[in-house]
Each structure stands twice: as structure tokens, then as C-alpha cells.
Chain A
């Protein structure tokens, strides 16, 4: 089985742009209809043959887009004749541990929410392979826009348990300053300058370039998708202006439900027309809260839409971390080829979990369906089988690793829960670059209320107490 990304290169090949910024053109200088021509020369469709057969394309007559797979559900290579995945044992073990760590954290935090220790949580059970496998193909310079079920991306890119817990408990170490609901992680790490990314631009630009960025999660669905296209365009221009640096892409995650939003369609089209180096990764997990895919769309998944927008597209088995990783590596390469272009990956999985802690999915799907998926196929179990087949893992390692992880999660959980909340001024700061005169007055008024009615408020959890409003 070979990795084949659907492309429209046949249509494009002789129109490759010389200037990398100019949009790819679909027509040469003249679009006039030649007499006797057998194909369309309208500006809106080129190379379309005339036909005397009236036939409507029927989606149901077209073959479904195949699903790329490397490893089967027993952890064996599907195609024994192909080389093994191009990844070291050490890397695979890291992936496995990252998937496991997210899974262990999920179990603890789901239960913690049930006990009222935090207001909300979302697990990624069944989707750890997609997030970890794809993030592993990114460089630290690549930028991520995620939805809300991508803890694995954060984990793989260096987000620590302390980072996770600080956000979940909205404490003073949370980069989101205690403002966002749990699981709305964000990251913009300064990090070591890698050998390939030194000496360019001003000090300021250098600072920007040396961060690993995952933009903070926003709850509204699909809003990040067109933003990812714009961000990718920004990276493309900046990287052209700094030819010494390694080119970067944007990776954008979303679910199949979000792909029904107008923003998804706008994003793919604008990314295609502006040739943006962005990889769109759709996690198709079968459910948008209660709505099954049958009521979400009638076409061939999300992948078929990519083709419609002229975007190179592949569908992969999301429970197969190798397939995801290989597809992402190739997608990244494609996104940076030909002056930049978007790529769409549709990664198939099953949402084993409830949508969130606010949801009871057994109100709309059978428990047996979920149990069946849990048992039959699961990205973690599949990779574990592969590792065991290679002699890299065993029951003993599994047990000690899980125990260590659980202890680590609980330690950070306890530490984060005990931390103070950020200062009260953070309620007003960052709306504007500077707190406005009107807000200052409101802060003073709030302070007066807190001082006049001290029995009505508990300020002890907040850093600096009432002084936080000064």
C-alpha cells in the first residue's frame, strides 16, 4: 500500500508560478475559445471536454476515497513488502508514552470533574493517535491552531503536566491567566535556537521565530480554520523574506462537525487561492455531540470536499499512528512545495468518550457500540501491540509506566489546585493593549464595593487580594 495524496497536479503542472507569492494561474494569457476546440475554454473551467452525453455526476456512483493504513489492528504491517516506518524505536516509544500520558490524565481529570474539582473537561479517548502522530511530523517552528480535543498535540510538542494542570485549574501559572474554560490550552514557548534558525532579521523577529506556538483554544467551532490559512500566508511571506530560515507550515485541527460551518469552506477556498502552506487535519470521530455523521453530511466524508476546492487530500486511518504520521510528513512536504499550498487530511476515528463532561452520550448512542469500538480498535492498544511485536514493550513496562504517569498527574494536580488564582486585575487586562480609562473607573468602583462589603467576597484565592485591583 502506498501513500497517495489526491492531487490536481495534472491540471496545474504547467502553470507553476515563478514568483512564489503570485497565485497559481489556471489559464494562460488567452482564454478565447478556439474554433473547433474539443474542450471548454471558459475562464471558470479549463480543460473540460465537451460531451454530447448528458450525465449528472452522482456522488453515490463514485468510489469512496480509500483510507491509508500502515499497521492493522493487530499491530502488524499491512503491506509486508514495504519498508518499516521511517522512525526510530525511541521516537515510537515517545509517541506511545505521550498517547498514554494523555489517556491517564483524561481518566483522572474526568473523574475529578465528576467530583466538582473542576468545572469542565473533555477527554480525547480514541483520538490520541491522530494528535500525537501528526504533531510528531511537525517541526517546533510550525504553528498550530487546534479545536479542543487535541491534548495529544500539546503533549507531543512539549506542553508539560504542570502546563496542563495550571490551565485546568485556572491558576496563576496558566498562560490563559485563568480566563478560559478548562482544556482551552495555549502555548507560546520561547525555546533554544536550533542551528538552522540563527542569524536573521532584527532582535524582535528572532524572538518571534524562536517560539513554539499553539494558539489558545477558542470554543466557537471552525473559527480557527480560516485563521490558519491567514497565519500560513504570514509564515510564507516571512519565510520568503528570511530565506535563511527553515520554512514553516501551519497545522490546523478540527472535527467533522466543525467542517459544516461556513468558516471551514471559506478557509479551504481562500487557502487554495492564496497558496497557503497549511495542513488541515480533520478528526472525523463520527459524532458532533449527538449528531452522527449521517445527519452532518451526505458526501464522502470531509476528504471529498478538499478535492472540490483544488486541495491535495488524503484520508487516513486515525487509529494507526504510523499512517497518520507518514501522511502528515508528506502533507508537510507538499504544503511547502510549489511555493506553498494547502493539504487536507481526513483522519478517521471513533469518539469513544462522551462529547464532554456536560454530555451523556448514552442518551443518543448504544453503550454496546462504544464498548465495541473500545475493544475492537483503539490507537493506543494498536500501537502497544506493534511495540510488543517488536519486543519493545511488555506488560511489566506498561504497568510501571502507567503507575508513574498516574503519580505524576496526581502530583501536578495537587500542586496546581493549591496554587493561587491570578490577580483580579486580570479580569480587566488584555481586553485592550492598555486598560482603558473607563475600565480603570470600573476597577475602582469594584474595589470600593469589595471594601464596603468585605463579608460578601472571598478574595483569599486571588493573588494580591484586593490590591490586585490597584
Chain B
């Protein structure tokens, strides 16, 4: 497109303000997450190999989240010729680049574009899984999964139960979908519908926090379980989160939470991108309230979830906060909080708090006020400790 001189000059003027909530210069808590230094990520190959969940002595390289997903898909396609990868725009690499180069490496029969139909993609994947394939179907945005809801809820989730004695199931079936807010996705490019799926027995719902976690959890979903998996990828992390990821095949067990940071006074339970906000809030509170230490748990699998790790932690700390991005009403926080009060009631020093999205839609101009930020998590920690 050719622009006239006047247009160029006009546009060259500094804008009065940017479209999305840039941090205010005075902010101390709500700063942009510094993914380069966040303790959530393995910034050196050494820190990776020190973690027992990754293969020992593995070679590794620095990958962002979409590259790690790409690496997991490549590993899966190489490992088993039953694996097929498809979805809208998957052929050229996907709109988030997760399937880049896979079609040229593994051929159009195993990596391919589908027509634009989520219900078709889901049903197609279920049928292929029922006949022994390992379909990894991409839904372009979690916001667009709803036409597939019937197939996922009434078919995938109930397949084994309905088949009963035939023994047929849809194991190996994975629905991948980018989820979560990025600051300007508004109503239909921001949603995190994990609780809608977590309500359905029969589905495993997974949300990785980082590139290395994503690869291990995705390979586990494809090869280590015979249940359909909803694999939700926080899209803001696709490029932002970079860490060392093992090159080879490895798996991270599903339905197993991880204590990311030990602490004695309060437990924060979260998953996906908000873990980074939690981590920042914890550093801030541990600075302003010396002596306080906060435990941080990544649920990793949202359902069926690792109740014991959470209960054990809260029994130790006596305080709990659940943090998630999606709406607070009937959300994951409600389930976790209720389980905690049933199993650790006598150890609680304060009510279990929830910091989550408000009960509304993600209106473009208001995203920063609707979704949980560092200040809100910091405030919740303070309130819980001072209760």
C-alpha cells in the first residue's frame, strides 16, 4: 500500500495514548512480566537438568512456547505413524506457527488443513481415534471451540463409558487450543473456557505454564493416557515465554500438580499464565513483609486434578488463594476452594480467597481491570495474612 506524504507525516506524530493499558510510570506491582528473568522458566540448561521431571543428561535448546509445541508435535509424528495433526490453517504452520514445517516433513496425509468447521474437526478426530489413530486436532482459538462442544461433551467424553464392553475408546485424542487474554483480544480472542470442560467427567483438561512443561505434558497426553485431552495453550506465552527444552522424547505425568516454590505461610494455587503474576506478587510481598514465605502450586492438569498436593500444602500453610484468569463465577477456584475447606477446614487461618476474572465478558477497553493482575494478587495475599 502506498501512503501519501501527508498521511505518513500525520501518522508519524506520537499518538496521544496507546490502545491498550500500558503500565503507568508509577507502577511498582503491575509491571509487564519480565519473562527473561522470571523464576518460572528454566533460563539455563543447567537449571533444566537439575529438575528431576526432565530427562537426565538430555541435550536441550532454548524454545518459546510455540516452538516447544512444534517440537512436541514433531516428536509425536516421528514416534508413531498413527499420529495425525490437523485443523484450520495448520498446513502452512498455523496462525500461531505451532505446526510450522510439519506438513513438508511428514506429508499432507498426516498434517493437513481442514475446512473451517470446529464441529467437523472434533467429530473427525473422535472417529479417527476410535479407529486407532492418535489425532491431534487444533482449534484455532479456544473462543471458537463451542461449535465442537457437542462432539467433545457428548461424544469424546462419553465414548468409553458408552461403548462399555466393546472396550473402544478415543485414547490418544488431543484437542489443542490457544487460550487466554493478551490485552486486546476482547470478547472472542481472550477466553479461557477450562472450567466448562473440567465440569465434564471423561475429559482431561491440561494447561501448561511454560515451553518445557508444554512439550512433556503434550507428549504425555498423546502417548501415556487413553483419555481425550483438552490441551489449552496460553497464547500470550507463545512468543513471550522462552526456556531450555529437552530435545528428546519425555513426558510429564497428567493429573499431577507441582510445587513451584515452597513456602510456609500461605499457598497460592494457579495454572497457566497467571502463575507469572503470582510469582511477581509473591516476590513483592516477601520483600515488604520480611519473614513471610508463600508457596506456589501449578495445577498443570485442571481435571482430574491433584487434590492431595494442594491439601497437603494448605494443611501446612493454613491459608490459600486460588488464582485464574477466567471468570470467578462457577470457576476452577470454586472447586479448589471447596475441596480445601472440606479437607483442611480445621487448619485454615483465613477464608480461602479467589482472585479471578470478574463476572463479565472481556471488553476490549477494560481488559486490564477485569483480569487478575499483580496488584490484586498482592492485595489478596496481604488480606489473607492479616485476616
Contacts from A to B (Cβ < 8 Å): 107-108, 110-112, 115-120, 169-170, 177-181, 184, 218-221, 257-258, 260-263, 288-291, 295-297, 358-359, 363-364, 406-407, 410, 413-414, 417-418, 421-422, 424, 426-428, 431, 436, 438-439, 442, 446, 449, 452-453, 455-458, 461-462
Contact = CB atoms under 8 A, between A and B. Distances in A.
Contacts of B360: 427-428, 431, 439
A178 B363 contact: yes
B186 A179 contact: yes
Interface residues of B, number: 65
B147 interface: yes
Closest 10 CB pairs of A and B: A427-B366, A219-B188, A178-B365, A119-B184, A179-B363, A260-B115, A455-B26, A364-B92, A458-B24, A257-B116
15 contacts: A111-B11, A177-B363, A179-B361, A181-B185, A262-B120, A290-B89, A291-B88, A291-B91, A418-B16, A421-B365, A427-B360, A439-B359, A456-B27, A457-B369, A461-B17
Contact of A107 (B7, B26, B93): B7
Contacts of A218: 187-188
Given A107-B1, A458-B21, A219 B187 contact: yes
Interface in B338-381: 358-361, 363-366, 368-370, 373, 375-376, 379
Centre residue among B28, B187, B329, B370 by max chain A CB count within 10 A: B187
A74 to B, nearest CB: 24
A424 B16 CA distance: 20
Interface in B1-46: 1-4, 6-8, 10-12, 15-22, 24, 26-30
Interface of B: 1-4, 6-8, 10-12, 15-22, 24, 26-30, 88-89, 91-93, 95, 112-113, 115-120, 143-144, 146-147, 184-189, 328-329, 358-361, 363-366, 368-370, 373, 375-376, 379
Contacts of A462: 365
Contacts of B184: 119-120, 181
B7 A406 contact: yes
B20 A359 contact: no
Contacts of A107: 1-3, 7
A260 B120 contact: yes
A421 B89 CA distance: 35
A456 B4 contact: no
A429 to B, nearest CB: 9
Centre residue among A169, A413, A428 by max chain B CB count within 10 A: A428
Contacts of B17: 417, 461
Given A117-B19, A289-B95, A181 B186 contact: yes
Contact of A456 (B19, B30, B115): B30
A261 B359 contact: no
A427 B188 contact: no
Given A119-B20, A120-B184, A111 B3 contact: yes
Given A119-B19, A262-B119, A406-B4, 10 more contacts: A107-B2, A117-B15, A170-B364, A179-B186, A406-B7, A410-B6, A428-B358, A442-B359, A456-B29, A457-B27
B89 A291 contact: yes
Nearest to A294: B113
A326 to B, nearest CB: 30
B106 to A, nearest CB: 17
A220 B143 contact: yes
Contact of B143 (A219, A263, A426, A431): A219
A177 B88 CA distance: 31
Given A111-B11, A410-B6, A428-B360, A220 B1 contact: no
A449 B115 contact: no
A424 B15 contact: no
Contact of A288 (B4, B10, B29, B88): B88
Nearest to A436: B359
Nearest to A359: B95
A464 to B, nearest CB: 14
B70 to A, nearest CB: 15
A255 B360 CA distance: 30
A130 to B, nearest CB: 19
B15 A295 contact: no
Contact of B359 (A260, A363, A438, A453): A438
A36 B209 CA distance: 72
Centre residue among B24, B119, B364, B375 by max chain A CB count within 10 A: B364
B369 A427 contact: yes
A453 B375 contact: yes
A290 B91 contact: yes
Nearest to B150: A262
B188 A181 contact: yes
A446 B359 CA distance: 12
B7 A111 contact: yes
A261 B116 contact: yes
Nearest to B182: A119
B147 A262 contact: yes
B370 A427 contact: yes
A358 B11 contact: no
Contacts of A110: 1
A431 B24 contact: no
B41 to A, nearest CB: 24
B217 to A, nearest CB: 27
B27 A179 contact: no
